[in-house]
Chain A
Amino acid sequence: MASRLIEKKQLSENVFQMVFEAGKIARKRKAGQFVVIRIHDQGERIPLTIAGANPEKGTITIVFQRVGKTTYHLSMLEEGDEVMDIVGPMGKPTHIENVGTVACIGGGVGVAPVYPITEAMKAAGNYVISIIGARDKGLVIMEEEMRSVSDELIVATDDGSYGFHGFVSQALEQEVIKKGKHVDQVVAIGPVPMMKAVCDTTRKYDIPTIVSLNSIMVDATGMCGACRVSVGGKTHFVCVDGPEFDGHQVDFKQLIDRQRIYLDQEKLSLERYLEGLGKEGRQV
């Protein structure tokens, strides 16, 4: 069904937060689930994690980074505009349980999907250590929100311009594990190389690690298999079996390859779109 954009906020250069009207989804969704959005009649269907919801107001919040045509187009929408379709909540919710201490790690725009999980982990009684990271200070998002649902928060930047100097995986090892803090479970969401690095670290210390995968999808109901991923040598569909999996079992190389299937077409599509915007004289 169509859905109205009622609030828009730019979190960093290319990251946007949007609140959409979607009553049924807002009441139904649980941490870890996502929606599929199609902006217009010729549009593609893209999955986006639900970063939050307000069941009373009937709204959901999404946070996304503009990379290709569709996310660019989405970022150009103004409050009051509509997207043609929004469907969900898709995927399985995160398994939330009091396990003791949980480290919730978000890299880049991955902080957005990790936020509702962090909130739920905290509410379930866990001691929550959150680590959020970005390339530099200007790209760190949702720091205050994350702080409000964490017992400890570490911010890491690749260039050291803010907080810990290094990757989130390094922050986890040096600032948490090596400092003798026992971690029962890790949840890591972000770019695939980041999730892989976190898993490589936690494997050494034998800490169970959940990752949330952002594969290419079409219908997101289990019908097409575009999102298939190898986990422990078995093929799963991210849309219905996931999006969360045991990070130690995921074939990240295959995931990276599969995310690149349409690289050329995505580039062409974006170029055409930006060209069109230029002709309209609109600022990107």
Chain B
Amino acid sequence: MNAKERMKIQRQPMPEQDPKVRARNFDEVPYGYTAELAKKEALRCLSCPKPFCVDGCPVEIDIPAFINLVADGDFVGAAKKIKEKNALPAICGRVCPQEVQCEQRCVRGKKGEPVAIGRLERFAADYERSQGEVEIPETAKPTGKKVAIVGSGPAGLTVAGDLVKLGHDVTIFEALHKPGGVLVYGIPEFRLPKDIVASEIDYLKRMGVKIETSFVIGKTSTIDELFEEGFDAVFLGVGAGLPVFMGIPGENLNGVYSANEYLTRANLMKAYLFPEYDTPIVKGKNVAVIGGGNVAMDSARTALRLGADNVYLVYRRSEKEMPARVEEIHHAKEEGINFHLLTNPKRYIGNDKGWVVGMECLRMELGEPDDSGRRRPVPIEGSEFVLDVDTVVVAIGTRANPLVQSTTPGLELNKRGYIEADEETGKTSREGVFAGGDIVTGSATVILAMGAGRKAARAIHEYLMSKN
């Protein structure tokens, strides 16, 4: 097919559940491409000699190559091509913000819409999995070097996958009872089905990665003890797990959750299946979610699926400044989330039993840009009003959990408690200790954590091989 014909093909939409139906179930929202749709979409790729899309990918996937394989109908080959660079394609195809990465650089986007790279990645990975047990790549012969990875989120899994392929003996230590970090406790089932996470982790295990769950570094063992036990290097990918509250009156009332708790109950503990599962969750009728990021969208959409009549998304700036992905905002709106923009809670009102019954809010207006370049929200005096709510989810961000840092002498931290690590190598102030992901950068995305993991893996390999 020549370029002219390719240019004529429009971007293929991905079929998804009807908003009214899906707002009441936890099943995944999009169904994914069919083989036919995938091939058609793949044909839109112009196979640029200088593919800008690859520059936009934090893990440098050979995008035109895998898309060509999809167009040829070699879907398993496409999946393998992706996996040369990315061990978690089914996850990244779903949760990467492609619109600001690979797809933003796609030349087709200059006039019209970019190639749906994320959807194609997802399709290839799903197709391969549907064909039975996924073949694992060959690993290098054992080097005899032992690496400990702390945290089994996107950063840790990437490091593990890269290092095990190079022949190192890799053990991941995970504090929770299931591996996956934010992929299992944070991102909801309807956006990232947990059996997909489990099978991508299983793939790593089959490659030889060992995972110790219910093992808290900083408590069960310290970093120094890991070295004493014979580990040659340590990677810290513990995430930024500490929830932030606003510090306004009434925040400890019953019914007020951190997004971390709300989502952990729902996702990791499967509280939406209570009482079949033992962990309960408050199923509010009128739920307010505070914040404008992906976690806020996930919380709001979870509240709806738990049976809320009204879910209010309360955000202090306007929609334009929301950090959430456009797609998540779009899905949330479609499902019926009420957006209360330029609004900020001032205090929570409780009853005599300590339950939240209302939330006093202030209207805001946008002033001059702040440090983040976004216009600063300024309260409008006298604009207070009360919203009747019985559940509140505070989703305004997270900070560094000090558990590991406080038990690792000599590990340098920045002002905000994050670990100081070299951007290119993940090297910390401690010899043999590397770090990457949210614990270095503060809360970011799955793929950025994976990108940091990729770089750290390279540096760890060099470190191990030079140390004989």
Which of A's residues lie within 8 Å of B, judged by CB? 1, 24-25, 28, 38, 42-45, 69-70, 84-90, 218-219, 221-226, 228-230, 235, 240, 253-254, 257-258, 260-262, 265-266, 268-269, 272
Q: A223-B241, A240-B403 are in contact. List 16 more A-B contacts (CB 8 A).
A: A43-B278, A45-B177, A69-B278, A85-B214, A218-B269, A221-B175, A221-B216, A223-B242, A225-B257, A225-B258, A258-B252, A260-B353, A262-B282, A265-B275, A265-B280, A268-B275
Q: Distance in Å from the Cβ of B397 to the closest Cβ of chain A?
A: 13
Q: CB-CB < 8 A to A69: which residues of B?
A: 278
A85 and B252 contact, Cβ closer than 8 Å, known pairs A219-B175, A223-B401: no
CA distance A218 to B258 in the complex (A): 12
One of B37-45, B161-169, B260-268, B442-450 at the interface: B260-268
CA distance A221 to B261 in the complex (A): 12
Interface size class of B (residues with CB under 8 A): 35 or more
Please tell me if the beta carbons of A38 and B280 are within 8 angstroms of each other in the complex. Answer: no
Which of B's residues lie within 8 Å of A, judged by CB? 175-177, 185, 212-216, 219-221, 241-243, 245, 247, 251-255, 257-258, 260-261, 264-265, 269-270, 274-280, 282, 353-355, 401-403
Please tell me if the beta carbons of A219 and B176 are within 8 angstroms of each other in the complex. Answer: yes
CA distance A230 to B216 in the complex (A): 26
Q: Distance in Å from the Cβ of A215 to the closest Cβ of chain B?
A: 11
Interface centre among A222, A230, A272 (most CB of B within 10 A): A222
**A235 in complex: contacting residue of B214, B251, B257, B276, CB < 8 Å:** B251
Chain B residue, CB-CB nearest to A40: B278
CA distance A254 to B241 in the complex (A): 25
Please tell me if the beta carbons of A87 and B215 are within 8 angstroms of each other in the complex. Answer: yes
Q: Distance in Å from the Cβ of A232 to the closest Cβ of chain B?
A: 14
Please tell me if the beta carbons of B278 and A228 are within 8 angstroms of each other in the complex. Answer: no
Please tell me if the beta carbons of A1 and B212 are within 8 angstroms of each other in the complex. Answer: yes
**B245 in complex: contacting residue of A42, A89, A235, CB < 8 Å:** A235
Interface centre among B247, B278, B282 (most CB of A within 10 A): B278
Interface centre among A43, A70, A225 (most CB of B within 10 A): A225
Q: Distance in Å from the Cβ of B99 to the closest Cβ of chain A?
A: 29
Please tell me if the beta carbons of B280 and A262 are within 8 angstroms of each other in the complex. Answer: yes
Please tell me if the beta carbons of B401 and A222 are within 8 angstroms of each other in the complex. Answer: yes
> What are the 9 closest A-B residue pairs judged by CB atoms, nearest first?
A257-B354, A265-B280, A224-B261, A87-B214, A44-B278, A223-B241, A44-B279, A225-B258, A262-B280
Interface of B is mostly: loop
A-B contact pairs, 19 of them (CB 8 A): A28-B220, A28-B221, A38-B177, A42-B278, A70-B278, A87-B214, A88-B219, A90-B219, A218-B261, A218-B265, A219-B264, A221-B403, A223-B241, A225-B243, A229-B252, A253-B354, A260-B354, A261-B254, A269-B275
Please tell me if the beta carbons of A265 and B353 are within 8 angstroms of each other in the complex. Answer: no
Q: CB-CB < 8 A to B220: which residues of A?
A: 24-25, 28, 87-89
Please tell me if the beta carbons of B278 and A225 are within 8 angstroms of each other in the complex. Answer: no
CA distance A272 to B459 in the complex (A): 54
Chain B residue, CB-CB nearest to A234: B247
Please tell me if the beta carbons of B275 and A85 are within 8 angstroms of each other in the complex. Answer: no
Q: CB-CB < 8 A to A38: which residues of B?
A: 177
Please tell me if the beta carbons of A42 and B270 are within 8 angstroms of each other in the complex. Answer: yes
Please tell me if the beta carbons of B280 and A266 are within 8 angstroms of each other in the complex. Answer: yes
How many residue pairs between the two chains, A and B, have CB atoms under 8 Å in the bound complex? 122
Interface centre among A224, A228, A261 (most CB of B within 10 A): A224
Chain A residue, CB-CB nearest to B278: A44
A86 and B269 contact, Cβ closer than 8 Å, known pairs A235-B251, A235-B252, A258-B354: no
CA distance A274 to B34 in the complex (A): 48
Please tell me if the beta carbons of A1 and B215 are within 8 angstroms of each other in the complex. Answer: yes
CA distance A28 to B222 in the complex (A): 10
Q: CB-CB < 8 A to B275: which residues of A?
A: 265, 268-269, 272
Q: Distance in Å from the Cβ of B113 to the closest Cβ of chain A?
A: 39
Please tell me if the beta carbons of B280 and A87 are within 8 angstroms of each other in the complex. Answer: no
Q: CB-CB < 8 A to A90: which residues of B?
A: 216, 219
CA distance A93 to B177 in the complex (A): 23
Q: Distance in Å from the Cβ of A34 to the closest Cβ of chain B?
A: 11
Q: Distance in Å from the Cβ of A207 to the closest Cβ of chain B?
A: 27
Please tell me if the beta carbons of A1 and B219 are within 8 angstroms of each other in the complex. Answer: no
Chain A residue, CB-CB nearest to B251: A235
Please tell me if the beta carbons of B280 and A260 are within 8 angstroms of each other in the complex. Answer: no
Please tell me if the beta carbons of B403 and A258 are within 8 angstroms of each other in the complex. Answer: no
Q: CB-CB < 8 A to A230: which residues of B?
A: 252
Q: CB-CB < 8 A to A88: which residues of B?
A: 216, 219-220
Interface centre among B175, B215, B265, B403 (most CB of A within 10 A): B175
CA distance A155 to B147 in the complex (A): 53
Chain A residue, CB-CB nearest to B247: A235
Q: CB-CB < 8 A to B175: which residues of A?
A: 87, 219, 221
Please tell me if the beta carbons of B280 and A223 are within 8 angstroms of each other in the complex. Answer: no
Please tell me if the beta carbons of B215 and A225 are within 8 angstroms of each other in the complex. Answer: no
CA distance A229 to B251 in the complex (A): 11
**B219 in complex: contacting residue of A70, A86, A89, A229, CB < 8 Å:** A89
Q: Distance in Å from the Cβ of B184 to the closest Cβ of chain A?
A: 12
A228 and B280 contact, Cβ closer than 8 Å, known pairs A24-B220, A223-B264: no
CA distance A38 to B261 in the complex (A): 17
Please tell me if the beta carbons of B221 and A222 are within 8 angstroms of each other in the complex. Answer: no
Q: Distance in Å from the Cβ of B459 to the closest Cβ of chain A?
A: 27
Q: CB-CB < 8 A to A225: which residues of B?
A: 243, 245, 257-258, 260-261
CA distance A86 to B212 in the complex (A): 12
Q: CB-CB < 8 A to B261: which residues of A?
A: 218, 224-226
Chain B residue, CB-CB nearest to A217: B261
CA distance A63 to B372 in the complex (A): 51
Q: CB-CB < 8 A to A24: which residues of B?
A: 220-221
Please tell me if the beta carbons of B242 and A222 are within 8 angstroms of each other in the complex. Answer: yes
Q: Distance in Å from the Cβ of B18 to the closest Cβ of chain A?
A: 30
Please tell me if the beta carbons of A222 and B403 are within 8 angstroms of each other in the complex. Answer: yes
CA distance A269 to B269 in the complex (A): 15
Q: Distance in Å from the Cβ of B114 to the closest Cβ of chain A?
A: 36
Q: CB-CB < 8 A to B219: which residues of A?
A: 28, 88-90, 221
Q: Distance in Å from the Cβ of A273 to the closest Cβ of chain B?
A: 9
Q: Distance in Å from the Cβ of B309 to the closest Cβ of chain A?
A: 19
CA distance A264 to B116 in the complex (A): 47
